[in-house]
């Protein structure tokens, strides 16, 4: 049998309410039982203390005045009304009553000590009645028996009230627990239903779907924020994948088409050896471009797939100095100067990713700088945060295009007449994201100013 989602959620809400109610009922029962047991023990201790005092007083009277003295004391106590009504019985060694307000020696009392029993009680001010007694039996010299007790009606009343309070408390707790439990369960399940519905719409292609987050600051809000960040990351990756697919297809189609066209033309013209060598050289250049593109795609995929890189302490200033020395010959060939200002900075991260970041930024800056201009490389530290700045004097990037420039396969030259895959800055952005850094593109007036902000660094 299959249940529709609303029926399933209603069933889950009822189940949650029942569990909450059950927990509340058990807690209430335990609390009332503990209170009852402690009160009953207190009453029992109080009663025994009173009985002990009274029995000790009569035993002292017996020792002082004998049997007649204790009998006289018992008669006097029985005839005087008291708040704490005591019960007395002085009996012969055979159990025949001599004096007191008990009709007979209880059969349950067969040895000295404390006893609890029910028997008939009579007094001058009240008719004979059946009462619960808690008494102490004392064996006097010459075999006479003394029984001193107190009515345990308070214990019986306490027990009755305990059961009455337990029943009414369980009823109230059950009704309130069901109501509040059902409400709270429905609140949690409403969030689950909203998350399920949003996930279904997301899977159907509505990638801008998000969960509402009322900012109450509870666990549901934190979970909603986590789910929304997941949706945003998936949307970003899917958008990046679409752009990558389009860009990769375009970038592969052009050189492959050129290779095919050259080979077909050479075949049609029956090219001689020299012409074939020229065709092969041109095809080799296109194949090298394709290989570089594939390697860049693999490197970008590797950088974006890294969630928790194995970190080592990298001396960022030394790494940048090595990158500058590597690209110095290229800069000299293009007639571009490089000015470097570095401060010692140690960074926990991936040396290979940081090296590729520096190489891509330098390559872009040199490639787009006019002859005779200078590329500036600065590494500064302020308040424990390091900033890497690489600025050129080239054409720069329009403000409206800067965010798109960090996406993969983005070439601001729509005709794609310039060499390159459009992956340079996207690899920089991916490497920065792995290191919790931020890439900021600004205008160098003229040219492009690229800043990479590292939040956690160490200065030497």
Domains located in the chain, CATH noted: 5-158 (3.30.450), 210-305 (1.10.287), 309-459 (3.30.565.10)
Q: In angstroms, rounded to a whole number, what is the distance separating the alpha carbons of residues 390 and 441?
A: 10
Q: Are strands 438-443 and 448-454 parallel, antiparallel or unpaired?
A: antiparallel
Measured N-to-C along each axis, helices 424-434 and 351-368 cross at an angle, to the nearest 10 degrees, of 150
Q: How far is CA 265 from the centre of its chain?
A: 66
Q: In angstroms, rounded to a whole number, what is the distance separating the alpha carbons of residues 131 and 150?
A: 10
Half-sphere exposure of 189 (CA within 13 A, CB side): 19
Rg for the chain, CA atoms, rounded: 48
What is the DSSP-derived secondary structure letter of residue 412?
S
Nearest CA to 202 out of 173, 233, 225 is that of 233
Please give the pLDDT value at position 459: 47
pTM of the model: 0.46
Please give the pLDDT value at position 395: 85
CA quadruple 358, 359, 363, 364: dihedral sign:
negative
Please give the pLDDT value at position 423: 64
Which residues touch 221 (CB under 8 Å, ≥6 apart)?
A: 213, 214, 215
Joined tokens for residue 168: 């009414």
Tokens 């005591």 -> residue? 86
Going residue by residue through the chain (460 aa), what tens digit of pLDDT does each one get? 444 444 444 455 556 667 767 777 788 778 778 877 877 787 778 878 888 888 888 888 888 888 888 888 888 877 766 555 778 888 888 888 888 877 788 888 888 888 887 776 665 555 555 667 788 888 888 888 888 888 776 666 667 777 787 788 778 777 777 777 667 666 666 777 778 888 888 888 888 888 877 676 667 778 888 888 888 878 877 776 676 676 667 667 778 888 888 888 888 888 788 878 888 888 888 888 778 777 766 666 666 655 556 678 889 899 999 989 988 988 888 999 989 999 998 888 888 888 888 888 898 889 888 888 889 999 998 887 889 999 998 888 877 777 766 665 555 554 444 444 556 677 788 778 878 888 888 888 888 899 999 886 654 4
Joined tokens for residue 363: 């390559």
Please give the pLDDT value at position 376: 92
Please give the pLDDT value at position 377: 92
Q: In angstroms, rounded to a whole number, what is the distance separating the alpha carbons of residues 59 and 39?
A: 30
Joined tokens for residue 98: 């001599």
Q: In angstroms, rounded to a whole number, what is the distance separating the alpha carbons of residues 211 and 216?
A: 14
Nearest CA to 88 out of 153, 150, 148, 152 is that of 148
Please give the pLDDT value at position 301: 65
Joined tokens for residue 119: 């028997």
Nearest CA to 286 out of 316, 312, 253 is that of 253
Q: Can you name the residues that pair with 146 across neighbouring β-strands? A: 90, 138
Q: In angstroms, rounded to a whole number, what is the distance separating the alpha carbons of residues 242 and 267?
A: 37
Coil, strand or helix: which one is 425?
helix
Phi-psi domain of 136 (left: phi exceeds 0; alpha: psi -120 through 50; beta: other): beta
Q: How far is CA 360 from the centre of its chain?
A: 40
Contact 430, 303 (CB under 8 A): yes
**Element holding 315 (H helix, E strand):** strand 312-315
């Amino acid at each position: 049998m299959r249940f529709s989602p609303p029926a399933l959620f209603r069933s889950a809400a009822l189940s949650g309410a029942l569990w909450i109610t059950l927990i509340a009922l058990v807690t209430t029962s335990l609390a009332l039982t503990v209170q009852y047991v402690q009160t009953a023990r207190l009453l029992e201790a109080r009663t025994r203390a009173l009985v002990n005092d009274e029995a000790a007083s009569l035993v002292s009277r017996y020792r002082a005045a004998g049997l007649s003295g204790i009998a006289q004391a018992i008669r006097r106590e029985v005839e005087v009304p008291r708040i704490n009504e005591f019960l007395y019985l002085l009996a012969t060694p055979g159990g025949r009553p001599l004096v007191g307000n008990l009709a007979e020696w209880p059969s349950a009392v067969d040895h000295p000590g404390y006893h609890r029993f029910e028997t008939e009680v009579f007094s001058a001010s009240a008719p004979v009645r059946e009462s619960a007694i808690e008494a102490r039996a004392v064996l006097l010299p010459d075999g006479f028996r003394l029984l001193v007790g107190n009515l345990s009606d308070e214990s019986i009343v306490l027990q009755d009230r305990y059961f009455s309070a337990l029943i009414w408390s369980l009823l109230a707790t059950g009704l309130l627990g069901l109501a509040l439990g059902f409400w709270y369960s429905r609140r949690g399940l409403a969030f689950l239903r909203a998350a399920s519905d949003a996930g279904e719409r997301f899977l159907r292609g509505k990638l801008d779907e998000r969960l509402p987050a009322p900012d109450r600051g509870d666990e549901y809000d934190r979970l909603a924020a986590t789910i929304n960040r997941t949706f945003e990351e998936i949307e970003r990756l899917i958008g990046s994948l679409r752009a990558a697919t389009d860009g990769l297809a375009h970038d592969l189609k052009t050189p492959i088409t050129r290779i095919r066209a050259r080979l077909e033309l050479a075949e049609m013209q029956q090219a001689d050896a020299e012409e074939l060598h020229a065709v092969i050289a041109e095809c080799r250049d296109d194949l090298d471009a394709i290989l570089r593109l594939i390697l860049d795609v693999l490197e970008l995929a590797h950088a974006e797939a890294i969630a928790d890189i194995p970190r080592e302490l990298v001396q960022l200033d030394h790494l940048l100095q090595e990158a500058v020395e590597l690209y110095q010959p290229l800069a000299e060939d293009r007639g571009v100067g490089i000015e470097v200002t570095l401060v010692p900075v140690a960074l926990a991260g991936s040396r290979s990713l940081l090296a590729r970041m520096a190489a891509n930024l330098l390559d872009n800056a040199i490639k787009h700088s006019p002859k005779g201009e200078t590329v500036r490389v600065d590494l500064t530290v302020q308040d424990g945060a390091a900033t890497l700045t690489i600025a050129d004097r080239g054409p720069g990037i329009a403000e409206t295009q800067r965010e798109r420039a960090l996406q993969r396969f983005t070439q601001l030259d729509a005709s794609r007449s310039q060499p390159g895959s459009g992956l340079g800055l996207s690899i920089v952005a991916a490497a920065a994201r792995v290191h919790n850094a931020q890439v900021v593109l600004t205008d160098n007036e003229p040219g492009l100013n690229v800043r990479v902000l590292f939040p956690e660094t160490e200065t030497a």
